Chains A and B, each alone.
Chain A
Amino acid sequence: MSTYFAGNYDVAVIGAGHAGIEAALASARLGCKTAIFTINMDAVGNCPCNPSIGGTAKGHLVREIDALGGEMGKTADECFLQMRMLNLGKGPAVHSLRAQIDRRKYQDVMKHKLELCDNLDLRQAEITDIERNEDGTWTLTTRMLAQFVAKTVIIATGTYLGGKIFIGEVSFESGPDGVFPATFLGDSLRKLGIPTRRFKTGTPARVKKSTIALDKLEVQEGDNPPVPFSFDTESLGENKVVCHISYTNEDTKKIILDNIHRSPLYGGKIEGVGPRYCPSLEDKIVRFEHKERHQLFIEPCGLDTEEMYLQGMSSSLPEEVQLQFYHTIPGLENALIMRPAYAIEYDCIDPTSMNATLEFRDFEGLYGAGQFNGSSGYEEAAAQGLIAGINAAHKVQGKEPFVLDRASSYIGTLIDDLITKGANEPYRMMTSRSEYRLILRQDNADTRLTPLGYELGLISEDRWKRFNEKQELIKAELKRAKETVIPLSDELNDILVSRETSEVSNSIRLIELLKRPQLDYKALESVDLTRPDIPQSVFEQVEIAIKYDGYIKKQLAQVEQMRKLEVKILPSDTDYKELPGLRLEAQEKLNKIRPANIGQASRISGVSPADISVLLIWLAKKSHEKSQTEDNTDV
């Protein structure tokens, strides 16, 4: 058998899941000749776990991807079944949008977008080997022995790489949903000198809708009206489905504990590290033994299917045990399991071996994104894919790297966490992970990132125009709020009393009223007579800016401090063992993580403020020496 040459590309993306899709679309849209390889053409853009996009902090990521010109938000809008803005009432920093989506439709829409995209070839092939050529390009070999040469490669293999499914005592090599796994690429990477490790994740059973007693269960409705993810989507129409809620009980617990030895995790068969963020039901029961019941959500997988997803009930117990314990749950007494729950173990890498561009530090032109990098979740994957795709394209085109810092976005926070702290378990985004969360809100993702997306070339002129119009409206309304005086009236004081805030004895500026936590635009409608007819999203921006002004200013000051350190670049070839004054632990950590700048170095655990002082002095010395050498050359 011999290989044959099959073509040249600027960017080759391995894997067409959520990371691969954003990577390929970004690179192709930036003008690079791009190939995206999928192991199975019917598995493009699959959601092998829950049929939903977004959720707390993940919803922020989707909005940010959209603001930068990515695709996830738009497609979720096109395929949505139900929208919910989570955390209303808990403050704008933690508002998060989540969509139930039609899973098959999402795949079809995404696949079609890939097919229609200029510069992009979607191909079915398992990549079995990648090799670096002497000229710095990469050769990719497929199982069918085709060879492609690419200037840059993005690996986004998800749970396919060395994938292995566990259901009780049964286990077999497999990607998600029974699609075959990528069996050879892992060895190729290890041969290249990239160590891999095993992570695990899992998914619950899908059960047949008509066998669930839905009428007995609590209903969860969507928002009215539903809000879209994309700043480009004008309106969504109505929610199409409802979800249902039920709970486990003592019987469920007993069955699980009686059979716990048959779990591959507790029986010691799985070596992979599972996420605390999505524990199986047996994990939850073992770790929180005192808890009487666990909640589950029953979510439709689509409009053209009877499959229902049981959120919260993932398991790797044997199929017969699954059947028993699912049947103890109210509403599921007679449920037919269409697909059993399973755990899946897969190969991934240590993300501290990467730069903030998601390029491997030691392998120029090789990038990674998504679960391959040690994260968990569709949204986390898509966010990384977008950044890897942009950077691979920039590399090909000789442009500057595109890096988002922690203060710019959840995307930046996600990547900084991965490359600085690494991941000992699949990494899930949470609002608690961002120290700047009052300014990194999902409602202002466009303000924060669309100018960057436009500069990159991923935002259309038309959208850019609309963006700027909205920004103008925000400015104008803020000005109006500062200048508008609301005259003293009984009506005004009635409103104030009804909102449990103190009455006024003089006329008062609108901005002063809006500063009060108890008041909002809506409450003041009848006394604010000069209010213009502008979109609700504009009022929202102005209201948040006014109410949280003090906090926003404080966080912006912290950001400024952080950014001062972020621009002090550390040379990538530094051997920290050679620097006097650094403590041993700091030397070792710095040599492992190889931070790009002082800011990143200061976030490494084990690097103390004194170590940072040492680095600052060393940098000052170096830059001084450099400028002296340059002076000499001039002479």
Chain B
Amino acid sequence: MMNSTIAAISTAQGLGGIGVIRISGDDALKIADKVFVSLNEKKLCDQKGYTAHFGAVFFEGEKVDQCVATVFKAPLSYTGENVVELSCHGGTYVTKTVLRAVLDSGATPASAGEFTKRAFLNGKLDLTEAEAVMDIIGAKSNAAMRSALSVHEGALSKAINDVKEDLVMRAAHLCAWADYPEEDIPEIEFSSLKNALQLSKEKLNNLLLNYDKGKAIREGIDTVIVGRPNVGKSTLMNLITGYDKSIVTDIAGTTRDIVEETAVVKDITLHLSDTAGIRDADNMIEKIGVDKAKQRLSTAELIIAVFDMSSPLSEDDISILNDIKGSTCIAVINKEDLEPKLDIDKVKEVTENIVFMSAKAKTGVKEFEDILEKVAGTADFDSSSAVLSNERQRSLAKSAFNALDDAIVALDMGLTYDAVTVSLEDAISYLCELTGERVTETVVDNVFHQFCVGK
């Protein structure tokens, strides 16, 4: 727990000039040495603290990028533990690949606010900051949960879940067979068990191999534009995406109710959804669109809420304000060129990030950029949480793969099934971590679902 070595991308994500991957824990230097080779081929383990070394990072035998490794030795580091910071060129692909190399070499993905937590527990932060730290962790975990939710919809999590369910069925059979020896539970057949484990292992392997293909992972800040109909959302969307057409891509498979595009504003990647106007809809089809918009609202990392300066706040506007309260958001007050009728104080109660603009007349664009930069750059806006939660899935899938391998080895050696079951349950427990279930309960529930047992 506390002693494991953790890693994460610790710079805001996007097309910035540098990306930093921070590794912290007892084994930070050892792990860094597995991925980083310095120009003079000296090991980081042998280096002093507060030193920087130029070299390159390698992943699966290939060079990923040039890199500067900065070494901090416990207790003289941010977290008070051994720390290595790998500074490479920015950009999602490079930073993510470096992170992956580090995770594959034995680090675990840092959970929300974990660096800060360690810094605090190691006495590196002032006591008075404790409550602020607790708040940050709370906020970060909410952000992480949001991205986990959005990842949930993804094909990857479905595939992982399918593997998990297969394994739970097998584990439940083994458990029923052991816990109810005198009931007529079907015998465990060696070859069928082994084939099943082998199949699951292959499925996990394919998942890991194809992980980056397709659209399983989405970079950038998951952003949603909301507002009642006709406040100018689409115009705003076009204005933002119109910044640099060359790096705007369409994402296939979007619903007809939500338009999705990726845009880069001031080096910040936004994954944008323009939703159906939110209002109390009577029409069935429109209602579906509105429900989808509301759902996006709950999974998005950043909300851009658009209001019309030229009309008073409507009931729908107020409902939107209620929905976005407590979220990371920017309020865009559109149509500033028209006669003002909107009660701006009501908006101020919800957020201080307010921009006045006219999307049509293209005024206020600079202000919007500045606010966006400020919001995306604030400490508790963890723009890398989506990548991290994806990396966490991958890392857990990999651990599950290894545990399954242990189970198969135990089977091949001819060890008794109690040992096989323990490894199998290890594999399930990694997959369960994604959903927060507990393996023993999941398996026991399945026993009673699948088998008629009990005296």
Contact = CB atoms under 8 A, between A and B. Distances in A.
Interface of A: 50, 56-57, 86-87, 89-94, 96, 275-279, 284, 287-288, 291, 294-295, 297, 311-312, 314, 421, 430-435, 437-438, 517-518, 547-548, 551, 555, 561, 564-565, 579-583, 603, 605, 608-611, 613-614, 616-618, 620-621, 624-625
Nearest to B128: A621
A277 B448 CA distance: 8
A605 B454 contact: no
Nearest to B111: A609
Given A56-B178, A56-B179, A91-B418, 6 more contacts: A92-B416, A432-B444, A564-B2, A610-B140, A616-B121, A617-B137
B455 A580 contact: no
A621 B443 contact: no
Given A432-B443, A551-B422, A616 B436 contact: no
A96 B179 CA distance: 9
A521 to B, nearest CB: 16
B138 A581 contact: yes
Contacts of A279: 452, 454
Contact of B438 (A311, A605, A610): A605
Interface string B130-162: 110111111111101100000000000000000
B130 A617 contact: yes
Contacts of A611: 141
B1 A565 contact: yes
B340 interface: no
Size category of the B interface is 35 or more
B136 to A, nearest CB: 8
Interface in B88-117: 111-114, 117
A461 B455 CA distance: 40
**7 smallest beta-carbon distances between A and B, as pairs:** A91-B416, A91-B418, A610-B141, A581-B138, A581-B134, A93-B418, A432-B175
Given A517-B414, A561-B1, A620 B436 contact: no
Given A56-B179, A276-B454, A91 B1 contact: no
Nearest to B425: A435
A431 B452 contact: no
B184 interface: yes
Nearest to A562: B1
B119 to A, nearest CB: 10
B183 A278 contact: no
A57 B179 contact: yes
B1 A564 contact: yes
B179 A430 contact: yes
A621 B452 CA distance: 51
B413 interface: yes
B430 interface: no
B418 A437 contact: yes
Contacts of B454: 275-279, 284
Given A56-B179, A610-B111, A614-B138, A603 B438 contact: yes
Interface string B171-196: 00001011111111000000000000
A581 B178 contact: no
Contacts of B131: 580-581, 621
A204 to B, nearest CB: 9
Contact of B455 (A89, A278, A288, A437): A278
10 contacts: A91-B415, A294-B452, A311-B455, A430-B175, A431-B179, A434-B440, A581-B133, A581-B135, A613-B137, A614-B138
A86 B438 CA distance: 27
Contact of A438 (B113, B418, B448): B418
Contacts of B425: 435
Contacts of B136: 581
B113 A613 contact: yes
A295 B183 contact: yes
B447 interface: yes
B154 to A, nearest CB: 20
Contacts of A94: 178-179, 418
A115 B321 CA distance: 73
B130 A90 contact: no
A253 to B, nearest CB: 12
B382 to A, nearest CB: 12
Contacts of A551: 419, 422
Contacts of B144: 610
A91 B181 CA distance: 13
A185 B227 CA distance: 61
Contacts of B182: 86, 295, 297
A91 B127 CA distance: 52
Contacts of B419: 91, 93, 438, 548, 551
B439 interface: yes
A437 B141 contact: no
Contact of B130 (A91, A438, A621): A621
B175 A431 contact: yes
Contacts of A616: 117, 121
A278 B113 CA distance: 46
Nearest to A277: B454
Nearest to A313: B455
A517 B416 contact: yes
A614 B140 CA distance: 11
B141 A608 contact: yes
Interface string B1-13: 1100000000000
Contacts of B135: 580-581
B169 to A, nearest CB: 14
Given A86-B181, A90-B417, A295-B182, A287 B452 contact: yes
A603 to B, nearest CB: 7
A613 B179 contact: no
A608 B436 contact: yes
A518 B416 CA distance: 10
A294 B256 CA distance: 54
A579 B416 CA distance: 47
Contact of B141 (A288, A430, A438, A583): A583
Interface in B2-40: 2
B190 to A, nearest CB: 13
A613 B455 contact: no
B58 interface: no
B381 interface: no
B127 to A, nearest CB: 6
B127 A621 contact: yes
B54 interface: no
A620 B120 contact: yes
Given A564-B1, A581-B134, A624-B127, A431 B178 contact: yes
A96 B139 CA distance: 48
Contacts of A312: 455
Most chain B CB within 10 A, of A87, A295, A583, A605, is at A87
Contacts of A547: 415
Given A297-B182, A432-B440, A435-B440, A617 B121 contact: yes
Contacts of B444: 430, 432-433
A91 B417 contact: yes
Contacts of B448: 276-277
Contacts of B422: 93, 437-438, 551, 555
Nearest to A278: B454
Most chain B CB within 10 A, of A90, A295, A314, is at A90
Contacts of B113: 610, 613
A610 B139 CA distance: 10
A580 B134 contact: yes
B455 A314 contact: yes
A3 B455 CA distance: 45
A71 to B, nearest CB: 24
Interface string B395-430: 000000000000000000111111100100100000
B178 A90 contact: yes
B139 to A, nearest CB: 8
A287 B448 CA distance: 10
Contacts of A91: 178, 415-419
A96 B113 CA distance: 45
A605 B436 contact: yes
A333 B212 CA distance: 67
